[in-house]
Amino acid sequence: MKAVLVLEDGFALEGQSFTGDFETGGEVIFTTGMTGYQEVLTDPSYTGQMVCMTYPLMGNYGITAEDMESAGIHAEAFLVKECCKEPSNWRSVMSLPDFLMKHGTPGVEGLDTRALTRHLRLNGAMRGIISTREKDREALREKALGLPTMKGRNLVPRVAATGPYAWHDNAPRPVSLGPDGSYAWRGTGLPLVVYDYGIKWNILRHLVAAGFEPLAVPPGFTAQAVRATGARAVFLSNGPGDPATLGEEIAIVRELCRDMPVTGICLGHQIIGHALGAHTEKLKFGHHGCNHPVKDLTTGKIEISSQNHGFHVVLDGVADVEATHVNLNDHTLEGLRHTKLPIMSLQYHPEAAAGPRDGNHLFHRFREMIGRATGN
Amino acid sequence: MTPGNPELAEILRIAKEYGFSDRQLAEMWKRPEADIRRLRKDFGILPTYYLVDTCAAEFEAYTPYFYSTYETGDEMQVSDRRKVLILGGGPNRIGQGIEFDYCCCHASFALRDAGIMAIMVNSNPETVSTDYDTSDRLYFEPLTFEDVMNIVEKEKPEGVIVQFGGQTPLNLAVPLMRAGVPILGTSPDAIDRAEDRERFQALIEKLGLLQPPNGTAMDLEQALEVAERITYPVVVRPSYVLGGRAMAVVYDAAELTDYFREQVPEKPEHPILIDKFLEHAIEVDVDALSDGNEVYVAGIMEHIEEAGIHSGDSACVLPSFSLSYDHVANIAAQAEALARELKVVGLMNIQFAIKGDDIYILEVNPRASRTAPFVSKATGVPLPYLATQVMLGKTLDELDPWSLRRGGFTCVKEAVMPFQRFPGVDIILGPEMHSTGEVMGMGADFAEAFLKSQIAAGQRPPRSGKVFLSVNDRDKPYVADVARLFADLGFDLLATRGTAKVLREGGLEVEEVRKVYEGRPNIVDLIINHEIALVINTASGKNTARDSKAIRRAALTWKVPYCTTLAAARATATALAAGRDVDHVETLQEYYARDARGQE
């Protein structure tokens, strides 16, 4: 079935649907990872976005049970050059088209993804509509212009946790708190409250491996409630949308920063930035892929990193905050720390999935910082 | 494929997106390739060109590399500058040397120096000519009519250079010309006269030159007749092959029958070529540059190995070391006559064989040969660069290559063999090409240059020790002379029974050693024990080759220097006799500078 993609500026491409009939819209972005489509699709940070893969073949190793980054698909649509319908992988439990159809996510192949990537690189990420129903490009463009822009869009409520849960046996397990807000920690690691703004499960896996016992909570969980759980530190997850819209979350974190060790990744890092007095700006076409070079300014070492963000923190001289990591492609901020308080965060994804694991050691850096601050 | 089929355009587009060539589709649909091309163009199914940026368009790239694809976008801006297309040689393979890369680079430099945009077409990432800064623009495309025509139609260059990429682009000359593409340099018709066997024969006769007696055959019966007429030994080969593939020297009817059984299909597509093999002839390679009127004979290279060893595998010397003045003058005159008759514009290469006082023409290639870089460096005259200028309209009078020539030294080109990498392969040389590289030795005289070339090619000739000799019957009459050279240098001689007998008859002292099947310790044991300093082992004909294979294999495995021809052994002895210091090296520029001073 023929599908037409039209961007808000009128740029149009044709492809073939491999998931049946649909019409959907969102911000069109491109991701440069050669592998990792399952992780990309299930990463809640892609909420509201239609993902174009620059690598020309997707789906060849199918879908695996162990590599989910959340319970479902969050990308609005998946745009590829060629989709492999018959995966070859002993771990595969499902083909990519079946996976997309199961979750009702449109998949399109046969698009000139290179032309699309080039257009986005030159003109910036923008809104688009993809449809098998409407062929009139002008009509589709009108619809695209009617979509909300990513800037100013709060998408956290769509994917964030709605209640507290623990992480056991590689899956989230809902838990309840005591009437006084206390939590019965199991004693498997350092008690850590994890704000789930749309978390990637591999972050939880890594926090456990680094010696934490995570208790995930929803975004509106107050600072007072955190203290009531008996947690010793706080972690802020990744998530979708424009961080500047998250006024309530930022206020909670600002309060937590006064007397708790706080760390964060991606959106969590951006919220920490806001809480410490910095601001965020939208990147032209974002960083999405597994090949971004990042320099660790504290060691001088360079890591190849997994990234997925459309906004970045601009410090412009905020007191007592220093940059710890910088992106070598465009020199934007990739990590920060407070010089006096036990606060640090990373813009990129040290938990990888998909992508290189160069940054995995940073979970231990979190653990060490928190250990020093709390005496554990 | 039915014309008028409404789905045809879509099927054709999908086939092109999947990478099927017009030629493959032509075969499948049983239509001429030209029909597919016309149909494709009628439907507007044309390739677009994307940049090779190695980053999936994520970053802005400045490399002027392009590849074709059947997609919606196009990242190529056609320039309105003057431009010329250079066709490269495609992937490296035996018989299609990296030497052509040198030629393509210099063609590009010459074009750029003349203010013309140099557009390279080559699908080989391993070369310098495909470096991003060698040409102004690179198309990373196969060297086929379809792909080259697509580029020509897009770029509309003022000309295409086909003579620097070896045989592959040369084969495109006639089809491109028929499609109306201007070919720079020697005309495709002249190329055809040199390539087509019958037209070539007529050319040789017209000029009153000599060719080895020859004939063609479609089956064994005809072949036996031809061989009988021209007398054995003969060289047999299929027509239209590169690098002497499946070429063999056969000495009698039995071997010819074997050859047909093993190498020739029941109904061959092209005739089998049969030439008289000129035994013990000296082979000479000549490179010449011509503007259609004047001819500059750039180099007359004498092969160290006799005729019958593929020219790509043979070592050669410039200037020649044993040819008489008359022979050199005669060869130069013949080369000039051929260049004038063919109206060569650019480079040409001719292979001669000298037997007694007769000079035979084996082959004429109206293109840069694999010796072009060697001759350029050995004489200081940048042949491909000048040839490009000639193609752009300069005359040899203006360019005056004669004044650029440097001399006063000798250069030896030696082939580098990949045998070490292929366990079990025999290292014997023959009409089929094996070499995968070459080195150049430069020195004050032949001895110094030859020894340096041997060292560079991976074997250091010994100064003392035991020389082992085992030669085939045809070489036996000549082996004593060669052995004597080594004996005079103080080497001890070792030989298997037959060779030992010949050497003793020649008055030489020789120790006899067992052949492999004669018990132990035998010659292979001695090689393994490092008791042998040099192995001289020749074989020809299937059976002797098999017997002595173990010896050559051992020499290779245990890294004992070896010669597989008497000619190479003689050259080694001659070079050792001069006692040159070969550890002293100088740069090419130092050699040139010394000669320039000498001229002042």
d(CA B166, CA B102): 11
Using pLDDT thresholds of 50, 70 and 90, give the confidence band for residue B243: low
Chain A residues near residue B75 by CB distance under 8 angstroms? 118
d(CA A212, CA A366): 10
Using pLDDT thresholds of 50, 70 and 90, give the confidence band for residue B546: low
Cα–Cα distances in angstroms (integers) from residue A4 to residues A119, A370, B7, B426, in the given order: 16, 51, 21, 62
Q: Is the pLDDT of residue A41 over 60?
A: yes
Could you tell me what percent of chain B has a pLDDT over 70?
96
Q: Is the pLDDT of residue B545 over 80?
A: no
d(CA B110, CA B318): 25
Work out the average pLDDT over A349-367: 90
Work out the average pLDDT over A90-105: 97
Q: Give the end-to-end CA distance of chain A in Å, rounded to a whole number.
A: 59
Beta-carbon pairs below 8 A across chains A and B: 32
CA distance B59 to chain A (A): 7
Lowest mean pLDDT among A9-18, A297-306, B57-66, B418-427: B418-427
Work out the average pLDDT over B306-320: 85
CB spacing of A32 vs B56 below 8 angstroms: yes
Q: Is the pLDDT of residue A59 over 70?
A: yes
Buried b (16+ CB within 10 A) or exposed e, A24-51: ebbbbbbbbbbebbbbbbbbbbbbbbbb
d(CA A52, CA B254): 67
Structure tokens at B76: 């190529």
Chain B interface, mutation test: which of A112, A120, A307, most B Cβ atoms within 10 Å? A112
Using pLDDT thresholds of 50, 70 and 90, give the confidence band for residue B598: low
- Tens of pLDDT, residue by residue over B286-304, are 999 999 999 999 999 999 8
A32 at the B interface (CB within 8 A)?
yes
Lowest mean pLDDT among B174-178, B267-271, B474-478: B267-271
Based on its alpha-carbon atoms, the radius of gyration of chain B, rounded to whole angstroms, reads 26
A51 at the B interface (CB within 8 A)?
no
d(CA A236, CA A248): 14
pLDDT score at B547? 60
pLDDT score at A353? 87
d(CA B106, CA B110): 6
Helix axes B372-379, B99-113, angle to 10 degrees: 60
Of A154-163, B448-457, B469-478, B583-592, highest mean pLDDT: A154-163
Q: Give the end-to-end CA distance of chain B in Å, rounded to a whole number.
A: 73
pLDDT score at B508? 94
**Single-letter code of the amino acid located at B30:** K
Chain A interface, mutation test: which of B14, B58, B77, most A Cβ atoms within 10 Å? B58
CB spacing of B56 vs A329 below 8 angstroms: no
CB spacing of B73 vs A114 below 8 angstroms: yes
Work out the average pLDDT over B481-502: 94
Of A112, A115, A117, the CB nearest to B58: A117
Using pLDDT thresholds of 50, 70 and 90, give the confidence band for residue B600: very low
Beta pairing partners, B364: B350
Cβ-contact B566, B482 below 8 angstroms: yes
Q: How many CB atoms lie within 10 A of CB B199?
A: 14
Chain B residues near residue A329 by CB distance under 8 angstroms? 59
pLDDT score at B423? 73
In chain A, which among 224-243 make CB contacts under 8 A with chain B?
none
Work out the average pLDDT over B197-223: 92
Lowest mean pLDDT among A142-146, A180-184, A324-328, B131-135: B131-135
Cβ-contact A292, A305 below 8 angstroms: yes
Q: Is the pLDDT of residue B339 over 70?
A: yes
Using pLDDT thresholds of 50, 70 and 90, give the confidence band for residue A258: very high
Q: Is the pLDDT of residue A134 over 90?
A: yes
CB spacing of A117 vs B72 below 8 angstroms: no
Q: Which residue of A has its CA nearest to B75?
A: A115
Question: Who wins on pLDDT, B119 or B270?
Answer: B119
- For residue A294, the Cα-to-chain-centroid distance in whole angstroms is 17
CB spacing of B73 vs A32 below 8 angstroms: no
CA distance B21 to chain A (A): 20
Buried b (16+ CB within 10 A) or exposed e, B426-453: bbbbbbbbbbbebbbbbbbebbbbbbbb
Using pLDDT thresholds of 50, 70 and 90, give the confidence band for residue B117: very high
CB spacing of B57 vs A329 below 8 angstroms: no
B598 at the A interface (CB within 8 A)?
no
- Tens of pLDDT, residue by residue over B278-288, are 988 899 999 99
d(CA B314, CA B460): 18
Of A13, A55, A329, the CB nearest to B56: A55
- Tens of pLDDT, residue by residue over A72-86, are 999 999 999 999 999
State the average pLDDT for chain A. Answer: 95
pLDDT score at B1? 60
CA distance A125 to chain B (A): 12
d(CA B81, CA B87): 19
Model confidence, pTM: 0.85
In chain A, which among 245-304 make CB contacts under 8 A with chain B?
289
Work out the average pLDDT over A132-152: 96
d(CA A35, CA A45): 18
Could you tell me what percent of chain A has a pLDDT over 70?
100
d(CA B467, CA B531): 9
pLDDT score at B240? 65
pLDDT score at B582? 81
- Which are the catalytic amino acids of A? 266, 349, 351
Q: Is the pLDDT of residue A98 over 80?
A: yes
B60 at the A interface (CB within 8 A)?
yes
Using pLDDT thresholds of 50, 70 and 90, give the confidence band for residue B70: very high
CB spacing of B58 vs A30 below 8 angstroms: yes
Chain B residues near residue A283 by CB distance under 8 angstroms? none
Question: Who wins on pLDDT, A83 or B545?
Answer: A83
d(CA A326, CA A342): 20
pLDDT score at B554? 85
Beta pairing partners, B273: B216, B237
Listed in sequence order, the DSSP H helices in A103-200 are: 113-123, 137-145, 156-159
Chain A residues near residue B71 by CB distance under 8 angstroms? 112, 114-115
Using pLDDT thresholds of 50, 70 and 90, give the confidence band for residue B484: very high
A64 at the B interface (CB within 8 A)?
no
Chain B residues near residue A32 by CB distance under 8 angstroms? 55-56, 58
Work out the average pLDDT over A126-140: 96
CB spacing of B57 vs A55 below 8 angstroms: no
A118 at the B interface (CB within 8 A)?
yes
Using pLDDT thresholds of 50, 70 and 90, give the confidence band for residue B244: low
d(CA A206, CA A189): 12
Work out the average pLDDT over B447-461: 91
A185 at the B interface (CB within 8 A)?
no
Q: Is the pLDDT of residue B215 over 70?
A: yes
- Tens of pLDDT, residue by residue over A203-228, are 999 999 999 999 999 999 999 999 99
In chain A, which among 339-358 make CB contacts under 8 A with chain B?
none
**Single-letter code of the amino acid located at A111:** L
Work out the average pLDDT over B360-380: 93
B266 at the A interface (CB within 8 A)?
no
Of B14-28, B55-69, B517-531, highest mean pLDDT: B14-28
d(CA B565, CA A231): 86
In chain B, which among 64-93 make CB contacts under 8 A with chain A?
71-73, 75
Structure tokens at A13: 């491409």
A31 at the B interface (CB within 8 A)?
no
Which residues, in sequence order, are CB contacts of B171 under 8 Å at separation 6+? none
Could you tell me what percent of chain B has a pLDDT over 90?
61
Chain B residues near residue A114 by CB distance under 8 angstroms? 50, 56-57, 71, 73
In chain A, which among 2-21 make CB contacts under 8 A with chain B?
13
pLDDT score at B268? 76
B14 at the A interface (CB within 8 A)?
no
A30 at the B interface (CB within 8 A)?
yes
pLDDT score at B394? 96
A123 at the B interface (CB within 8 A)?
no
CB spacing of B75 vs A121 below 8 angstroms: no
Helix, strand, coil in percent for chain B, rounding step 5: 40, 20, 40
Work out the average pLDDT over A83-105: 97
pLDDT score at A110? 94
Question: Who wins on pLDDT, A148 or B515?
Answer: A148
pLDDT score at B597? 63
d(CA A335, CA A312): 10
CB spacing of B58 vs A13 below 8 angstroms: no
CB spacing of A112 vs B59 below 8 angstroms: no
State the average pLDDT for chain B. Answer: 89
- For residue A253, the Cα-to-chain-centroid distance in whole angstroms is 19
Instruction: Map tokens 């999908």 to a residue.
Output: B14
